[in-house]
Structures are given as structure tokens and as C-alpha cells.
A and B are shown apart, each in its own frame.
Chain A
Amino acid sequence: NAGVTQTPKFQVLKTGQSMTLQCAQDMNHNSMYWYRQDPGMGLRLIYYSASEGTTDKGEVPNGYNVSRLNKREFSLRLESAAPSQTSVYFCASTTRGRGYGYTFGSGTRLTVV
């Protein structure tokens, strides 16, 4: 099925470990986004990529890095995980131009102990 695919769905890390969250879309979308969702706080933007080859910081970028590998893939890396990064991470994409809504992946639930 067409859409946004995130892997893994669940992950437990120890403090200080690193990992990469993967996101891929097959809708030929230009823009891709990483959000985190914490209880009672809605979703907050971590990083985004307006188009292939560009990335920019969002509201809460500290502790994260991103790579827009190609038009389809946008990965999020935690270099040294901290308990404060325990959250649910969502990737989203949208096409160029106005009038189009976001399509979200199913999320990655990350626990840092």
C-alpha cells in the first residue's frame, strides 16, 4: 500500500546508545518531517526537509540529526540517547505546493532507560 513507512515500530535503548529511525514514502512527495509526541504536549517538530538535499531545524532539534538520503527516505539519528528522548516519533510527508495535507507514518515508540 502507498504511504509512509517507519521502522522500527518499537525500540528500547540504554542511555548513551545510538540509533537511527528510518522513514520512507512512496508517494513522490517533496517535503518530509520528523515529529515527536509526548503525553499532553501534542506533536512537536524536530527536523524537516523541504526537498531532496535540504534539511532544517524545527522546534526541538537538540540531540538529533537527520539525513535526506534521497527523495523517498528521511532518517532521524540519536547519537547518544537520553531518557528525555523517550517518546513516540512520527514521520510525515507532503507534496509540493499548497492544498495538500500531511500523510503520517504509523510511528516509532522509543524508550530510553
Chain B
Amino acid sequence: GIQVEQSPPDLILQEGANSTLRCNFSDSVNNLQWFHQNPWGQLINLFYIPSGTKQNGRLSATTVATERYSLLYISSSQTTDSGVYFCAVGAYTGTASKLTFGTGTRLQVTL
């Protein structure tokens, strides 16, 4: 099956710093999503981005499908950004798209 690797596995930032999280995947995909799991365990969808670039406030993401990687940028980090960031990839079969998740990047933002 498809392999998903995320880096770095752990990241500690001071509030206000910027960061880049990377996701590499081993096969062609037409579905790529980024999620944030907050310290209470809730998974929030950040981006649906199988290709191209999107921005949402302080967060942006870029996927280069031909080179099989995606990047998540966090600017001016805040303590509320803490948690685990997951990249998940997949391919549509009919109407469903099964996602394979990476093991995540654990981010801690300190004051």
C-alpha cells in the first residue's frame, strides 16, 4: 500500500515563530488532506489539497503531486496551534476515498 512519511516527528516553537511541516508519499494520489489533532483529541480538517496551494489565515499548504510531497506552513504560531498535524493521502474508488495517514508531526508552541 501507499506509504506516508511526515517530518519532523516533533517540533517545539516559541510563540510567533514560523514552521514548515512536510509530507512525502510513495504513489500517485488524487486526495490529500491535512488535519490538526488538538490536545483533547479532536481531529479538525485543515485543507483538502491534492494539488496546488491554499491559504486559510495563518496556515497555508502546497502540494506538488508530480514530486509526491506536500508542505504545511504555519506562520506566527500561537499556543493554540499545539497538537499533532497529520497528512493523509488516498485515491478515489467510485464515490469513496480511503485515506492512509502518516504518523504525524507533534507541535508544541511555548510562550
Contacts and interface: CB of A to CB of B under 8 A. Distances in A.
Q: Chain A contact residues (Cβ within 8 angstroms of B): what range?
A: 20 to 34
Contacts of B109: none
B95 A99 contact: no
Given A42-B103, A59-B1, A101 B45 contact: yes
A90 B96 contact: no
Contacts of A92: 43
Given A98-B30, A101-B45, A106-B42, A31 B96 contact: yes
B57 interface: no
> Interface residue tally of chain B, by bracket?
20 to 34
In this complex, the member of B50, B99, B101 whose beta carbon has the largest number of chain A beta carbons within 10 angstroms is B99
Interface string B36-48: 0000011111011
Interface in B71-108: 86, 88, 92-104
Chain B binding surface, main DSSP class: strand
Contacts of A96: 95
B31 interface: yes
A71 interface: no
A74 interface: no
Interface of A: 30-31, 33, 35, 40-45, 48-51, 56, 58-59, 88, 90, 92, 94, 96-104, 106-107
10 contacts: A31-B97, A42-B86, A44-B101, A51-B95, A59-B100, A98-B50, A101-B48, A104-B35, A104-B44, A104-B45
